[in-house]
């Protein structure tokens, strides 16, 4: 059966495109508060679980060992735009562990932040692995290995102790024992493990509330969330949805995008977790759907409402700045 | 009712994302040879009808008047990557009409061809309207106005004689009288008129075969198709689907992509026209679906089959070049 339409693109007087998908809003005990579409088929969470992956860094004691400041902890949870300020923090993380960009296994791509790509080229430089949107997460994996006193080489492989620890954390938070055949390779070469949306949302309810977690893990999660709330630019970047949400809501809302239309989040005040998958993989849809979930489940003041309105109903403008349409969630 | 799944993205052992949509393959008399999904709801064809828009240029006598070579005629039908060779031809078209880039009303964006953006920035330059993927079409509109002896200013507006002529051509080919409320503004600021997929496909059957068209218009269409077949790089650019198809198939297949998951084409040998709309607007899906239509309706030799295979089943590789998945049509 087809999942429901969760977002529509309007142009002129007509709906031009539509996105289907699934939405799970779940509490730490697994009770479904909002369920749309398919909550049971395993979904690759991609970058949406970077905060879960970063728990390994925290539990390895790497933050203390390498004196990682909060902006670095946010970068470990980030899909950043490759802006100069992002790159500088990743370089600092690697330097603290006695390494440099050559240790990164994420691959090279130009900054997703277009002005940063143009500035890089204008200065005669080229993209490096530091500009990869996942470089902060990878620096975190490397710091975790170094803090554990193990060889960081091969840290992207499923059999490496760091990735085994990541899998154990994700299984603990989501309550799912992940079979081998649900493992695939992510864009940055680390494993991504498919998990049903309902379980993913439960994992984020735990991550946000600390409920159902061992005390040390709950403290680590709390510190990561606080680091992200205090450094929202570091978790994404200029003009990005995750940054805009966390700039406005601070510690009240944690959100993290993933490739292929995945979005996860935690609403710590209500103890709820959120997991969204847009069937076709479109971020423009997963973003407005996440904005719709926030509107529905987070108490809003007037300023919240104004800021959220721009994220709920983005205006589409063409190359001349003319308003040609709009995107909206249909929850 | 939901349209059928027309393309799937696999990662590891699972389907990661899926795209729904509609496909019409129709002959010049309007008989549906293949119909999937909704063929009757009006769809904005966006850039997929640039060859129809360029008929106005031909019928105005602009090709003769301004001695436009075949590469320029292909550029008038193109969504180009903003590569230096594209930009040079557009500049030449404008110069032939006594004008320059300041006449273009399409707006400015950086080349969609990433290496061209990097090279432009590296040389200390910035994007201009010439780099806009629609600049060739706009140069064509401007040349049409000049050849008709009318003021080209305001040529992007629906009331301008050039846009009125474009609308008349599209109505003639598709057999649809387009109501005003089905007009919206395209990314480059000219009107885009929504038309049912079945009628769009019929229009392309006519464009490709000359059947059901006035003789002068049929000759103009034939010349545009020949110009595109001889200059496939000019209709899109390096690494692009339209270019790859027409490099392989020449005058046997005309294809043109449009924004928001639209793809149109003509198969002149069989007299068929094709119109595809992916519900969610994804080009990665409309491309493999078009490849699937070509596989089904065009007689293939071994070389055709090898070339088409790469377009039918693109491999997904990550930033390290590791194969992580694949895209495939499901027709």
pLDDT tens digits, B21-70: 999 999 999 999 999 999 999 999 999 999 999 999 999 999 999 999 99
Supply the pLDDT for residue B106: 98
pLDDT band at A44 (very low <50, low <70, confident <90, very high): very high
Is A12 in the B-facing interface, judged by CB distances under 8 Å?
yes
pTM above 0.90, yes or no: yes
Shortest distance, CA B154 to any CA of chain A (angstroms) = 14
Whether ipTM tops 0.90, in short, is yes
**Which residues are bridge partners to A168 per DSSP?**
none
Is B211 in the A-facing interface, judged by CB distances under 8 Å?
no
Question: Quick one: angle between helices A50-59 and A135-147, nearest 10?
Answer: 20
Contact A186 B114 (CB under 8 A): no
Residue B296 CA to residue B314 CA, distance in Å, equals: 18
Contact B261 A17 (CB under 8 A): yes
Q: Hunting for tokens 């409320």 — which residue is that? A: B181
Strands A254-258 and A262-267: antiparallel
Q: Tell me the three state secondary structure of residue A329.
A: strand
Range 45-104 of B in CB contact (< 8 A) with A: none
Which residue on chain A is closest to B278 by alpha carbon? A17
What is the maximal distance between C-alpha atoms in chain B? 62
A238 alpha carbon, distance to own chain's centre: 15
Supply the pLDDT for residue B2: 97
Of B53, B94, B98, whose CA–CA distance to B207 is shortest? Answer: B53
Contact by Cβ (8 Å): A257, A283: yes
Range 101-140 of A in CB contact (< 8 A) with B: 105-110, 114, 117-122, 124, 132
Which residues of chain B are within 8 Å of residue A20 when distances are taken between CB atoms? Answer: 2, 20, 279-280
Supply the pLDDT for residue B72: 98
Residues 6+ apart with CB under 8 A from A4: A20, A21, A36, A37, A330
Supply the pLDDT for residue A331: 84
Contact by Cβ (8 Å): A198, A30: yes
Supply the pLDDT for residue A66: 98
User: What's phi and psi for B132, nearest 5 deg?
Assistant: -55, 135
**Which residues are bridge partners to B328 per DSSP?**
B8
Of B121, B184, B319, the CB nearest to A187: B319
Range 133-162 of B in CB contact (< 8 A) with A: none
Residue A28 CA to residue A30 CA, distance in Å, equals: 5
Range 21-50 of B in CB contact (< 8 A) with A: 42-44
Q: Is the pLDDT at B7 greater than 90, yes or no?
A: yes
| Mean pLDDT along residues A142-168 | 98
pLDDT band at A250 (very low <50, low <70, confident <90, very high): very high
Q: Percent of chain B having pLDDT more than 70?
A: 100
Range 167-206 of A in CB contact (< 8 A) with B: 181-189, 192, 194
Contact A19 B109 (CB under 8 A): no
Query: What number of CA atoms fall less than 13 Å from residue A120's CA on the CB side?
Result: 24
Supply the pLDDT for residue B108: 98
Q: Is the pLDDT at B290 greater than 90, yes or no?
A: yes
Supply the pLDDT for residue B202: 98
Structure tokens, A158: 């499923």
pLDDT band at A54 (very low <50, low <70, confident <90, very high): very high
| DSSP symbol at A160 | S
Write out the E strands in A78-146: none
Shortest distance, CA B228 to any CA of chain A (angstroms) = 26
Which residues of chain B are within 8 Å of residue A6 when distances are taken between CB atoms? Answer: none
Contact A14 B185 (CB under 8 A): no
Shortest distance, CA A108 to any CA of chain B (angstroms) = 6
Reported as a single tens digit per residue, the pLDDT across B293-327 is: 999 999 999 999 999 999 999 999 999 999 999 99
A2 alpha carbon, distance to own chain's centre: 26
Reported as a single tens digit per residue, the pLDDT across B110-158 is: 999 999 999 999 999 999 999 999 999 999 999 999 999 999 999 999 9
Of A183, A171, A188, A187, whose CA–CA distance to A104 is shortest? Answer: A188
Q: Which helix H or strand E contains A24, and what residues bound it? A: strand A14-27
Structure tokens, B64: 């003769």
pLDDT band at B247 (very low <50, low <70, confident <90, very high): very high
Shortest distance, CA B190 to any CA of chain A (angstroms) = 10
Q: How far is CA A159 from CA A180, A192, B134, in A?
A: 12, 13, 49
Q: Is the pLDDT at B233 greater than 90, yes or no?
A: yes
Which residue on chain A is closest to B42 by alpha carbon? A14
Which residue on chain B is closest to A11 by alpha carbon? B184
Q: Is the pLDDT at B107 greater than 90, yes or no?
A: yes
Residue A147 CA to residue A261 CA, distance in Å, equals: 34
Q: Is the pLDDT at B177 greater than 90, yes or no?
A: yes
Q: Which helix H or strand E contains A262, and what residues bound it? A: strand A262-267
Is A257 in the B-facing interface, judged by CB distances under 8 Å?
no
Structure tokens, B100: 């320059």
Substitution target from A42, A121, A188, A195 for chain B, most B beta carbons within 10 A: A121
Residue A255 CA to residue A265 CA, distance in Å, equals: 4
Write out the E strands in B2-57: 5-11, 14-27, 32-36, 42-43
Residue A136 CA to residue A104 CA, distance in Å, equals: 10
Tell me how many residue pairs between chain A and chain B have CB atoms under 8 A apart. 161
Which residues of chain A are within 8 Å of residue B22 when distances are taken between CB atoms? Answer: none
Of A54, A62, A138, whose CA–CA distance to A100 is shortest? Answer: A138
Residue B119 CB: number of other CB atoms within 10 A? 15
What is the maximal distance between C-alpha atoms in chain A? 62
Supply the pLDDT for residue A39: 98
Contact B318 A13 (CB under 8 A): no
Contact B122 A122 (CB under 8 A): yes
């Amino acid at each position: 059966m087809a999942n429901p339409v969760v977002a529509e693109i309007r142009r002129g007087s007509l709906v031009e495109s539509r996105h289907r998908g699934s939405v799970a809003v779940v509490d730490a005990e697994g009770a479904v508060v909002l369920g749309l579409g398919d909550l049971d088929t395993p979904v690759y969470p991609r970058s949406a679980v970077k905060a879960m992956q970063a728990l390994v860094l925290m539990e390895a004691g790497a933050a203390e060992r390498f004196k990682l400041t909060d902006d670095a902890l946010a970068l470990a949870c980030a899909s950043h735009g490759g802006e100069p300020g992002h790159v500088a923090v990743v370089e600092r993380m690697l330097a603290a562990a006695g390494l440099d960009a050559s240790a990164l296994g994420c691959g090279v791509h130009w900054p997703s932040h277009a002005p940063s790509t143009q500035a890089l080229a204008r200065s005669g430089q080229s993209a490096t692995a530091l500009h990869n949107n996942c470089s902060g997460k990878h620096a975190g994996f490397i710091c975790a290995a170094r803090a554990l006193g193990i060889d960081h080489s091969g840290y992207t492989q499923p059999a490496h102790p760091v990735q085994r620890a990541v899998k154990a954390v994700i299984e603990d938070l989501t309550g799912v024992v992940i079979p081998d055949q649900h493992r695939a390779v992510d864009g940055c070469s680390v494993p991504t493990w498919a998990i049903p949306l309902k379980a993913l949302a439960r994992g984020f309810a735990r991550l946000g509330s600390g409920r159902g977690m061992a005390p040390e893990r709950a403290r680590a999660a709390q510190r990561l969330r606080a680091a992200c709330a205090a450094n929202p630019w570091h978790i994404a970047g200029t003009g990005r949805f995750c940054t805009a949400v966390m700039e406005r809501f601070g510690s009240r809302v944690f959100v993290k995008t993933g490739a292929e239309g995945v979005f996860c989040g935690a609403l710590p005040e209500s103890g709820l977790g959120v997991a969204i998958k847009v069937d076709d993989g479109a971020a423009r849809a997963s973003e407005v759907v996440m904005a719709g979930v926030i509107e529905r489940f987070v108490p809003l003041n007037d300023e919240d409402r104004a800021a959220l309105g721009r994220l709920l109903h983005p205006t589409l403008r063409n190359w001349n700045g003319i308003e040609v349409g709009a995107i909206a969630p249909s929850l």
